[in-house]
Amino acid sequence: MIQNLISSLQRLAEEDFPVNKVSKYLQDLSLNHNSLNKYAFYKNEFYTRNLIYREKSFEILVICWPPKTNAPIHGHEGEKCWARVESGNLYIGNYKKLSNSPLELNMINELSCDAGYLDGPADIHSVKNISENFSTSLHIYAKPYEACDIYDLKKGTVERKKLGYFSIGGKMC
């Protein structure tokens, strides 16, 4: 199953990830939940970013969300990224940047997303597990990046944060 996903994304990379094609492919993707188990690592204290596969053109992650945890408002460096809820219920807030100084973001939409929901491609968003149980999401990032901007609306700041993985290829780091 995962190898089919990788092969399909390699073909879509040759076309520079056309949004409609990738979105349709991911929406229609039938993944056996067990195919992600090898890559899914759960911690009660924080969400985990688990790398399934990475190459120059894209990376595939499964993110495991404990109940009531969240990722702050963050950017995706102008690259295309998709997130598909695999289990649980995630709240996704999508934003548009209006100004850097002072920092001003406009909420485009707020979504309560059950398993099967596909979001993307996202530019600036926040994610929160609103479920009482763990949630998981599958993420595809076209043109992987090493750091992203974190937006703090209360402080009016943007902070650059280095990204890492909790596991790679099914093995904890």
For residues 124-131, give the mean pLDDT. 96
Mean pLDDT of the chain: 95
What local confidence, expressed as pLDDT, does residue 122 receive?
A: 84
112 pLDDT more than 90:
yes
What local confidence, expressed as pLDDT, does residue 60 receive?
A: 98
Q: What angle do CA 68, 145, 118 make, to 5 degrees?
A: 50
Looking at the DSSP bridge assignments, the partners of residue 151 are: 158
The torsion angle over the Cα atoms of residues 38, 44, 48 and 50, rounded to 10 degrees, is -10
Q: How does pLDDT run across 16-69, given as a tens digit for each residue?
A: 999 999 999 999 999 887 899 999 999 999 999 999 999 999 999 999 999 999
168 pLDDT more than 80:
yes
CA distance 81 to 119: 9
Contact of 129 with 113, CB cutoff 8 Å: no
What local confidence, expressed as pLDDT, does residue 79 receive?
A: 86
pTM of the model: 0.94
172 pLDDT more than 90:
yes
What local confidence, expressed as pLDDT, does residue 156 receive?
A: 95
Kindly state the tokens that stand for 54.
């990475």
What local confidence, expressed as pLDDT, does residue 157 receive?
A: 95
Q: Under CATH, which number does the domain 2-165 receive? A: 2.60.120.10
What local confidence, expressed as pLDDT, does residue 84 receive?
A: 96
Q: In percent, how much of the chain has pLDDT > 70?
A: 100
What local confidence, expressed as pLDDT, does residue 57 receive?
A: 96
What local confidence, expressed as pLDDT, does residue 34 receive?
A: 87
Q: How many CB atoms lie within 10 A of CB 81?
A: 23
Q: How many CB atoms lie within 10 A of CB 89?
A: 18
Q: Evaluate the CA torsion angle 27, 33, 39, 45 in order and state its sign.
A: positive
Q: How many helices (H) and strands (E) does the chain have?
A: 3, 13
**Of residues 79 and 77, which shows the higher confidence score?**
79
